[in-house]
Amino acid sequence: MDKKVTLHDKTFKLFIPNEAIEKAIDDVAAKLNEDYADATDEDPVIVLCTLNGAIIFAAELLKRLQFPLMLKACKLSSYAGTQSTGYIKTEVPLPAKLEGHRVLIVEDIVDTGNTIVVMKDLLDAAKVRDSKVCTLLLKPEAYKKDVKLDYVAMEIPNRFIVGFGLDYDELGRNIKDIYVLDE
């Protein structure tokens, strides 16, 4: 029997089990550990978690990272219900004192890429030394921006999903698996 969940007025079916998510996080963490092996206590990497969706991914990722880092957060949003509005709203601004640091943006999902473009522009304005993007999920069909995505744990089709930090009108973030809209 298929596992299903209902959130508000929509039903979702199991799409990616937690075991596959954890394996993808293991793989991306191994690559990050290689690439940031030169980080030091005096020159830590700033891991910038994009709230609220990336909290779960960031928490799991951090447990696997073996280099000096500082965790910071910001919140840019563009979704209402199941659709991107195309408008980026800053709800929690970038933290201060980023200048000269290497920043790793940790994102839950990249689809249109509008948020990533704004985030990279903000980091450039903050004069960071380097910024890279690490996302749990990428929808390649939807992503048409020029900003490089440096670390992608999993690619998925352009469908609406919930679970593992992703929500539908704020519900479903606490589901350990990822579910897709059952149409």
Largest CA distance in the chain: 53
Taking the CA of residue 40 as centre, how many other CA atoms within 13 Å lie in the half-sphere pointing to its CB? 2
Dump strand ranges (E) for 8-82: 10-16, 45-50, 69-80
| Catalytic pick among 9, 27, 41, 111 | 111
Q: Decide if 130 is catalytic.
A: no
> Is beta strand 178-181 parallel, antiparallel or unpaired with respect to 161-162?
antiparallel
Question: Taking Cα atoms as reference points, which of 53, 49, 48 lies closest to residue 79?
Answer: 53
Q: Please tell me the distance from the alpha carbon of residue 159 to that of residue 56, in angstroms, as a whole number.
A: 20
- Residues marked active site are found at 111
